[in-house]
Structure 1
Amino acid sequence: MTVTQAQANKMVPVTVLTGFLGAGKTTLLKRILTEFHGKRIAVIENEFGPESIDNELLVQDSDEEIIELNNGCVCCTVRGDLLKTLTDLKNRRLNNELNFERVIIETTGVANPGPVCQTFFMDDGIAEYFRLDAVITVVDAKHGMQTLDTQPEAQKQVGFADRILISKKDLVSDEEYASLKHRLVHMNPRAEIMPVHFGEADLDKILDVTGFNLNSILEIDPEFLQDDHPDTHDHPHDHDHECDAHCTHDHHHEHDHHEHNHHHAHHDDEIGAFVFTSNKPFDPQRLEEFLSGVVQVFGPDLYRYKGILYMKGVKQRMLFQGVHMLMGAEPGKLWGPKEKPYNKMVFIGRKLPKDVFTNGLTQCLA
């Protein structure tokens, strides 16, 4: 389903807020719900547990599934299916029973955000009314390393993120923070990473991220490219800069490694990412066949994938993205007269065989 920009503007944006137990999601959410920011937000909580929104914030009896807050926001529980709750919110908004401009879904601390994201692709009634804006993941600076080492769900939360907020930075040294950030970049190079203090995040950095918008710029953290050795395939026009980074990195490698051993400690994370780039155009049919096959085989382990594609015989860049086994593509803007067309694709997932993807994609080039 392709949505026009005018339709997208009318849709209700949805932010998925995730993070492991104790990372600070609820602190952040409380701030959003108590602050008079002039935005009317509906919050869906995956469960009312001991960590849920404090009852003194709520101004209605808790038998009601949807509770209105004193600043115009509403809060509701998922007692069952997210689809059912979203449909209920949609119907009540259409009937003018509820007034909200956006939705925030807080997942449980041990939840994999994948199925939540898929809800917005699978049901047409939901997909046409709500626009999935972004997955925001909160990571605890103090316990983040240990959590990532021991909890596979925490790794998934990082893999799905469009933006990663690091909480409790004041409790760790600059070296520990740098080490955690370095690890997160390697797990997910397309998520912007920023520290957040006791939930005092700039709301504009959390809302309207358009991480699931195909037109959003495909940004990949340069730190990721610096440490990733160049592959054998062609590199896009802007790769000279990256090559310089590679060359200096390689040149000083032994010295750097010796001094910054703590910083570059190798973590055998199941979640990882890689980038495919090429200046040659793709053969559309071959690419479609290859991606369809890859998604069938690796779909459950493919968390997020996104790309700008240069297709043979097509004057526009094609924008594509997917979550698990669901993917979509649409035309973007025309390649400029002085622009050298290129392919740039990023794949984030669990134990993905980079060589299978790279070799397969290379075979699809015209």
Structure 2
Amino acid sequence: MTEMDTRIPVTIVTGYLGSGKTTFLNHLLKHTEEKTALIVNEFGDIGIDDQLIEQTKEEIIEINSGCICCNVRKDLIDTLSMLAISRDEKMIEFDRVIIETTGLADPAPVVQTFLMDKEVVEDYFIDVVCTLVDAKHISRHLDQQGEAINQIAFADVVLVNKVDLVTKDQLTDLRKRLERINPTASQHLCENSRISPGEVLGIYSFDLQEKLRGHPDFLNSHHHSHDDEISSLALREVKPLNLKKLNLWLSFLVQIQGEKLYRYKGVLNIEGKERRFVFQGVHMLFAGEEAGSWGDDERVSELVFIGKNLDKKSLTEQFQQCVTE
């Protein structure tokens, strides 16, 4: 995302069943000045979320032919294409798109749609992936190692909802667990899904270059997960990296372990380069580019992997082989 980017920003809202997504959207749409196209996905043949969302100036398109992450990605692409054409032809007017996924959805295919489909990429960019968490009940879902963990792993922002229903100690333990799963996501506490729109809209958290401008150290985390199948690994190196070795390693890694790598991102110090190199990936899709200059900042490479059953020892050793001798 650049200052001249005229594409449409997209907010992806996910969260397990009962986390408060519909209440959150009602609050968000009431308190933002932006005109919004809202895409609601439901699991099953009969959808009711569009009836629950209070009518405002938003355009609601409902996809109810199944879970958005499994058998209707083509429907999502068609819907996005229709919206873009209608906007260009002045048939409808909106400033952004919000996609609410079903509580049973894996966010990965939704995110991939905005990275791999050429027409979608031309018209849209992801602003933020926002995951709602029910503070009272989320622990049991995390213990089951299901979609709830995947949703947290893909988040740029985690909204810890219903904090009034848990004790201070329970909340502290939960936040630590969430951070172990995804150390790069920001956390916000809320009751009844109420939060300022400025915390989740127009923050460009999915864009690594934009995030670096406001939070240059956001990847500098040394938290490691030990109790969940989904875990994170942070790698740090002060010596420059060899770009050829790095490309070979990452290409091999995503081919062999791509399905286990939910999200990965990095800010790299490449040998012979005066600018930062930033990259991020989702499963088997990854891309990188040069970003801003290092200036007076320490030239240090930082990578974060979030995935399933990460072989942390092997990843660390392989990364070290990319260091310039």
TM-based fold match above 0.5: yes
Q: Residues of 2 paired with 1:36 and 1:271: CA distance?
A: 35
Question: Per-residue deviation at 1:220?
Answer: 4.2
The sequence identity of aligned pairs, in percent, is 37
Displacement of 1:151 after TM fit? 4.6
SS in 1 for 2:34: coil
Determine helix, strand or coil for the equivalent of 1:207: coil
Instruction: Give the unaligned 5+ runs of structure 1.
Output: 59-70, 229-265
CA–CA separation in structure 2 for the residues paired with 1:47 and 1:114: 17
Cα pair 1:185 1:221 within 8 Å, conserved: no
Q: Which amino acid aligns with 2:22?
A: T
Q: Do 2:219 and 2:303's aligned partners in 1 also have CA atoms closer than 8 Å?
A: no
Write out per-residue CA displacement over residues 297-330 of structure 1, whole angstroms, 9 at most, x where no aligned residue: 1111111111110001111111111111111111
Q: Which residue of 2 aligns with 1:362?
A: 320
Deviations 1:224-253 (A, max 9, x none): 63x55xxxxxxxxxxxxxxxxxxxxxxxxx
**1:74 alignment counterpart:** 59
Deviation at 1:32, TM superposition (A): 2.2
* Residue 54 of structure 2 corresponds to residue 57 of structure 1: yes
Taking the aligned partners of 1:219 and 1:26, their CA distance within structure 2 comes to: 33
Tell me how far apart the structure 2 counterparts of residues 221 and 119 of structure 1 sit (CA, whole Å). 25
> Among residues 89, 92, 97, which one is paired with 1:95 in the alignment?
89
Deviation at 1:88, TM superposition (A): 0.9
Q: Corresponding residue for 2:16?
A: 20
User: CA RMSD for the aligned pairs?
Assistant: 1.9
Instruction: Select the structure of larger CA radius of gyration.
Output: 1
Task: Report whether the alignment pairs 1:177 with 2:171.
Answer: yes
* 2:69 paired residue number: none
CA distance in 2, matches of 1:108, 1:203: 21
Unmatched runs of 5 consecutive residues or more in structure 2: 66-71
Aligned pair count? 309
Does the 8 Å contact 2:31/2:197 carry over to 1?
Answer: no
1:28-43 aligned within 5 A: 28-33=24-29, 35=30, 37-43=32-38
Paired position in structure 2 for 1:260? none
* Other-structure match for 1:133: 127
TM-score computed with the length of structure 2 as normaliser: 0.90
Alpha-carbon distance in 1 for matches of 2:262, 2:218:
16
Q: Deviations 1:131-171 (Å, cap 9, x if unpaired)?
A: 11111000101001111112510000000000000111101
Output the CA distance in 2 between the equivalents of 1:101 and 1:219.
31
Alignment of 1:45 onto 2:40: yes
Structure 2 CA distance for aligned equivalents of residues 349 and 118 of structure 1: 16
Inter-partner Cα distance in structure 1 for 2:39 and 2:265: 27
Secondary structure, in 3 states, of the residue corresponding to 1:209?
Answer: coil
Aligned to 2:267: 308
Aligned-partner residue type, residue 50 of structure 2: I
Matches within 5 A, 1:177-256: 177-215=171-209, 216-217=211-212, 219-220=217-218, 225=222, 228=224
Residues 22 and 52, structure 2, Cα contact 8 Å, conserved in 1 = no
Which AA in structure 2 matches 1:170? Answer: D
Distance of 2:244 and 2:31 partners within structure 1: 52
